[in-house]
Structure 1
Amino acid sequence: MHDFPLVVFTILSQLILGGFVTLWWLDRKKGRISKNSGLLISISLLAIAGISLLVSMLHLGQPLHAPRAILNFKVSWLSREIVFYGAFVGLILVYTWFWFKEDRAKRNMTGWLASIIGVIAIFSSAKIYMIPSFPAWDGVNTMFTFFLTSLLLGPLFVAAFLTVKGELDVNISVLSICGLVLTAVVAIGYFSSLLAGLPEAVETARLTFQHGFFWARIVTFLLALGLLIVTYKYSKLRNVKVFSAAFTILLVSEFLGRYLFYETAVHL
């Protein structure tokens, strides 16, 4: 699929935002994350950011001309996405350095700024697709979907790391369950609006319901929800294996959903 690089880039960039904000918030509120854990998670996020940037270049006809895209910052959401996402990754690098230097005050300040810039980057990314020529994209659902991916994947990514050393002292399952419930509500509203919309929107819904990936996404979604409900009720199951399994299942589910996002959209 021509849009596969975009599937990978959008999912990974949103994962990074959710993971970074989770790490920064836990460090700021709890202050019980060790230097080694903080560095490991931060470096992992940087590595994923590097992969996402490399993959995004594959979508460009002339990757070496990518820097020129920022010249349209005043009028192009794509240019804004590139600028803000680049700044976000740069701030994560600075944040990682303050973990290395064990400077919690500067780490907190950098985390505030990076979180704000990261949110703007994902907002810009969503705005790229909110265009009238694609009825299935031109709505608030696109914005909700992009940020919900951050909420679903980021906290579990960090939780899997922190449980290894017993440094996760909050029940992250609550946040994940709430994210899944909200995702289901948004999805119901989205498909209801498609079925009541323009013929192209109705066709998008039909193509989605007939696609095997749609039903695979529902199965993976329910599996992850069931697993997280179990971890919520039984604290002994909040370990790296369970959180890693939940994260992996949701990662697959989000990839399936994002693939359908691009594959089934019908142009006016």
Structure 2
Amino acid sequence: MHELPLVFFTVLTQSAVGAFILLLVAGVLKQVEARPLAIGLFAAMCLFGLALPIAGLHLGQPLRAMNVLLRAGHSPMSNEIVLSSLFCAFGGLGALGLLLNRGAQRLFSALTWIAAVVGVLFLLAIPRIYQLPTVATWNTSYTLLMMLLTPMIGGGALAAVLGARRIGLAVSVVATLASFCLRPGYMATLMSADSALTSAQLAWFSAQAILLAVGVVGAIVHVRYNTGRSLLAASALVVIVAELAGRVAFYNLWTLPM
């Protein structure tokens, strides 16, 4: 399970960035008050900060990770590391400043929006690492599409729990439905690239689909019957676990399985 740290790193950071951006949008739309917004932004940054060190477990010699920065601007992996660090810095300072509410709120708010822009660049940088010509199952447009859906599916669910319920649930459910629509074409492309390897991952892909469906049902029940936050939180957890399952399948599509 050598790639397992990357499974958690990519899904959790993508979900955290997605939640962070959606919380900011919800604030602009007056769907969340200032105090809950500050708490939600800080919580999203905490998740992002916890996910960052996990990626280091993937490295054979973590102390040499800084060498990757030497290729910033040229290497997609270097760009990912730089952008993740910038997002953590801007987002962390901005969210903490808003949470403490000790003045300079415009400055801290500006930092959060700068972080949002950096976050979008970070989300776009991740799939570029994996669109390798040597890995047929990764070198498709579906790699980009599926990885951009994760911030909306997982991030939307997380944002709903952190205070942006309306926009969070709407984005998460719509993105989930979009993933179901894309799934037949994605599976056909994978089968065409490597049918044996893809067939070996069908259990993971099936688990992802089932869990996503459960998450959507949970969200619908929560909205329909106005249930407590516990069902909403449980649905968000199920959705994120679903994305983790799908990401395990993705990494197993490499020619050397985990």
TM-score, length basis structure 1? 0.87
Identity of aligned residues (%): 23
1:83 alignment partner in structure 2: 82
1:135 alignment partner in structure 2: 136
1:165 alignment partner in structure 2: none
2:184 alignment partner in structure 1: 188
Amino acid at match of 1:187: R
Instruction: Report the Cα distance in structure 2 between the residues aligned to 1:109 and 1:225, rounded to whole angstroms.
Output: 34
2:23 alignment partner in structure 1: 23
Is the CA contact 2:79–2:125 (under 8 Å) kept in the aligned structure 1?
A: yes
- The reply to whether residue 264 of structure 1 matches residue 253 of structure 2 is yes
Deviation at 1:188, TM superposition (A): 1.6
Residue by residue over 1:148-177, the C-alpha shift from the partner in whole angstroms, topping out at 9 and shown as x without a partner, is 111011122122232xxxxx5736433222
Instruction: Report the Cα distance in structure 2 between the residues aligned to 1:191 and 1:214, rounded to whole angstroms.
Output: 9
Amino acid at match of 1:38: L
- The reply to whether residue 213 of structure 1 matches residue 204 of structure 2 is yes
Aligned-residue CA RMSD (Å): 2.0
1:254 alignment partner in structure 2: 243
- Cα distance 1:50–1:171, how it changes in 2: closer, same or farther (>3 A)? closer
Amino acid at match of 1:160: V
Is the CA contact 1:136–1:194 (under 8 Å) kept in the aligned structure 2?
A: yes
Give the secondary structure class of the aligned counterpart of 1:43: helix
1:236 alignment partner in structure 2: 226
Amino acid at match of 2:141: V
Deviation at 1:127, TM superposition (A): 0.4
Amino acid at match of 1:114: A
Deviation at 1:263, TM superposition (A): 1.4
Instruction: Report the Cα distance in structure 1 between the residues aligned to 2:176 and 2:139, rounded to whole angstroms.
Output: 23
Question: Mind listing any 5+ residue stretches in structure 1 that lack a counterpart?
Answer: 163-167
Amino acid at match of 2:198: A
Is the CA contact 1:69–1:78 (under 8 Å) kept in the aligned structure 2?
A: yes
1:11 alignment partner in structure 2: 11
- The reply to whether residue 224 of structure 1 matches residue 215 of structure 2 is yes
- Cα distance 1:208–1:77, how it changes in 2: closer, same or farther (>3 A)? same
- Cα distance 1:172–1:40, how it changes in 2: closer, same or farther (>3 A)? closer
1:177 alignment partner in structure 2: 173
Is the CA contact 2:26–2:167 (under 8 Å) kept in the aligned structure 1?
A: no
Instruction: Report the Cα distance in structure 2 between the residues aligned to 1:147 and 1:186, rounded to whole angstroms.
Output: 13
Amino acid at match of 2:248: Y
Give the secondary structure class of the aligned counterpart of 1:106: helix
- The reply to whether residue 40 of structure 1 matches residue 31 of structure 2 is no
Give the secondary structure class of the aligned counterpart of 1:182: helix
Instruction: Report the Cα distance in structure 2 between the residues aligned to 1:218 and 1:93, rounded to whole angstroms.
Output: 33
1:66 alignment partner in structure 2: 65
Q: How many residues align?
A: 254
Is the CA contact 2:11–2:150 (under 8 Å) kept in the aligned structure 1?
A: yes
Deviation at 1:245, TM superposition (A): 1.3
Residue by residue over 1:100-155, the C-alpha shift from the partner in whole angstroms, topping out at 9 and shown as x without a partner, is 33655434433332112111112111100000111111111111111211101112
- Cα distance 1:2–1:103, how it changes in 2: closer, same or farther (>3 A)? same
Question: Mind listing any 5+ residue stretches in structure 2 that lack a counterpart?
Answer: none
- Cα distance 1:222–1:31, how it changes in 2: closer, same or farther (>3 A)? closer
Amino acid at match of 1:117: V
Is the CA contact 1:173–1:231 (under 8 Å) kept in the aligned structure 2?
A: no
Is the CA contact 2:219–2:235 (under 8 Å) kept in the aligned structure 1?
A: yes
1:145 alignment partner in structure 2: 146
- Cα distance 1:172–1:86, how it changes in 2: closer, same or farther (>3 A)? closer
Instruction: Report the Cα distance in structure 2 between the residues aligned to 1:8 and 1:81, rounded to whole angstroms.
Output: 15
Give the secondary structure class of the aligned counterpart of 1:61: coil
- Cα distance 1:47–1:112, how it changes in 2: closer, same or farther (>3 A)? closer
- Cα distance 1:184–1:241, how it changes in 2: closer, same or farther (>3 A)? same
